[in-house]
Amino acid sequence: MEALIHWLADLLAKWSWWPFAPAPSATVVVWLVYAAITAFVIAPLAMIVLTWLERKILARIQDRIGPNRAGPFGVFQALADAIKMLTKEDITPSGVDRIAYNIAPAMAAVAAIAVFAVLPVAPGIIGTDLNIGVFYIVAIGAYGILAVLMAGWSSNNKYALLGAFRAVAQLVSYEVPMVLALITVTLVAGSMSTADIVAGQGSGWYFIAIPLTFFIFFVSNMAEVNRSPFDLLEAESELVAGFHVEYSAFKYALIMIGEYVHMLAAASFSAVFFLGGWRGPFIDWAVQTSPLLAVVMGHVYFLIKVGFMIFVLIWIRGTLPRFRIDHLLDFSWKFLTPLALLNLLVVAFVLKLFQPGTSAGIDIPAGPLSGLYLGGWGQTLGLLLGSILVVLVASAVVKAFAHRSKDAGLRAIAAAE
């Protein structure tokens, strides 16, 4: 008991100044406790808030009222649903593969939560500033795919299995343009650390400099987190509920947590990579005068951006119909991937043009336009022009292919334009 109190006191002492510098004496155990608190509090909370938001916004888009019985504006509806979900009978169908069936939901939730370790929420507030942050996000995504595969296979259900097949096809396909978009961001920021990427957006958010990359990242990320119009893994009109059709009660809750936390992660990292993360008016001034104020402001700016991205995700879900599976794969391999490759080349070329004399402390030859760097703004403008050029080339190519297409409908559209 004594030891426990001592340990808790130690924990609280560290908590009070943790935001500004990680305690050098912090043991792994303390960090694990932080991680557990984040996982057990933030993740279910995110799921509850997001389900309510989604239902409410979708209802408004479809000219309905949405949940409005439990509490003001129905805010407690999701909470009631969560409690109901946990008290349901936990059914394990006969014929499932017990080990894989039980591990898969936990893996789905953990894979979704783990990426938050590298999320820079406010100046100085980041779980761990890995120098491979972007790559870490991609690596953790692999376990998300694995969880879907395990759930689909172990359920011993043809719908679940079909869902899992689609999952692999879709997630692996869209990983390619997503990684290419992330490489572009890494090139522009000159670092894979998420904190450095936010810091590098002082002169113009990357949304302004590389809007095409943002589009590629956003679309492929939407597919990665199975959001409509890319929610083919669980297309209810075709597959009942897809890979999680056999799950009930707490395991279903875990899968749902995984799904909504994944969506939150997608929105958060879109904000971090392209919308300047915690950046906003007066934040640079606040960082210099009062770190505490900067942290508060950073949280506010960041949450506004994440909220906006989530709204856009829900908005798209309420607007667009679902893709067909072959169109979905064609879109990734025949359009997004070549586009992302071309975009990467153009961005690398423009960056070389504006290359200042040193990079990461190493002297390298300066680019021919390095005089026009202008504290980053000249480069931003150059990148924007490069993006526009790529869009023009891509649309011309698509048009030319549409004219030659065997699909009469596609030819008619191309001819009409």
Q: Is 116 in the site for other proteins (CB under 8 A)?
A: no
Gap between the Cα atoms of 233 and 239, Å rounded: 8
> Is the Cβ of residue 309 or residue 328 nearer to other proteins in the bound state?
328
- End-to-end CA distance of the chain, in Å? 77
Provide the 8-state DSSP code for 125.
Answer: B
The one-letter code for the residue type at 232 is L
Contact 244, 255 (CB under 8 A): yes
Which position among 57, 110, 145, 241 is part of the footprint of other proteins (CB under 8 A)?
145
- The answer to whether residue 3 forms part of the interface with other proteins (CB under 8 A) is no
Read off the tokens for 67.
């949940």
Cα torsion 264, 266, 267, 270: sign: positive
Query: What is the phi/psi pair of residue 363, to 5°?
Result: -75, 125
CB 266 within 8 A of CB 224: yes
Q: Which of 61, 79, 100, 300 binds other proteins (CB under 8 A)?
A: 100
For position 358 contacting other proteins by CB under 8 A, the verdict is: no
Is the torsion defined by CA of 303, 322, 62, 243 positive or negative? negative
- Is residue 341 close enough to count as binding other proteins by CB under 8 A? no
- Determine if 135 is a binding residue for other proteins (CB under 8 A): yes
Q: Does 129 bind other proteins (CB under 8 A)?
A: no
**Which stretch in 62-70, 158-166, 209-217, 220-228 sits in contact with other proteins by CB under 8 A?**
158-166
Cβ-based nearer residue to other proteins, 69 or 404: 404
What are the CA-CA distances from residue 205 to residues 21, 200, 262, 313, 381 (Å)? 26, 9, 23, 20, 12
195 forms part of the interface with other proteins (CB under 8 A): no
15 binding other proteins? (CB under 8 A): no
The CA-based diameter of the chain, rounded to the nearest angstrom, is: 81
Structure tokens at 18: 């943790």
Q: Does 142 bind other proteins (CB under 8 A)?
A: yes
Closest CA to 138 of 164, 107, 114: 114
Residue of the chain from 57, 112, 164, 295 that contacts other proteins (CB under 8 A): 164
CB-nearer residue toward other proteins: 82 or 114: 114
Window 376-415: contact mask with other proteins (x via CB under 8 A): ----------------------------x-x---------
CA nearest to 265, candidates 39, 77, 30: 39
28 part of the interface to other proteins, by CB under 8 A: yes
- The least distance separating other proteins from the CB of residue 344, rounded to whole angstroms, comes to 14
Cβ proximity to other proteins, 34 vs 165, nearer residue:
165
Q: Which residue has the tokens 């491979």?
A: 132
- Told to check if 139 binds other proteins by CB under 8 A, we report yes
Q: Which of residues 15, 18, 165, 335 is near other proteins by CB under 8 A?
A: 165
Residues that bind other proteins (CB under 8 A): 27-28, 95, 97, 99-100, 130-132, 135-136, 138-143, 145-146, 149-150, 153, 156, 161, 164-165, 168, 172, 175, 192, 360, 362, 404, 406
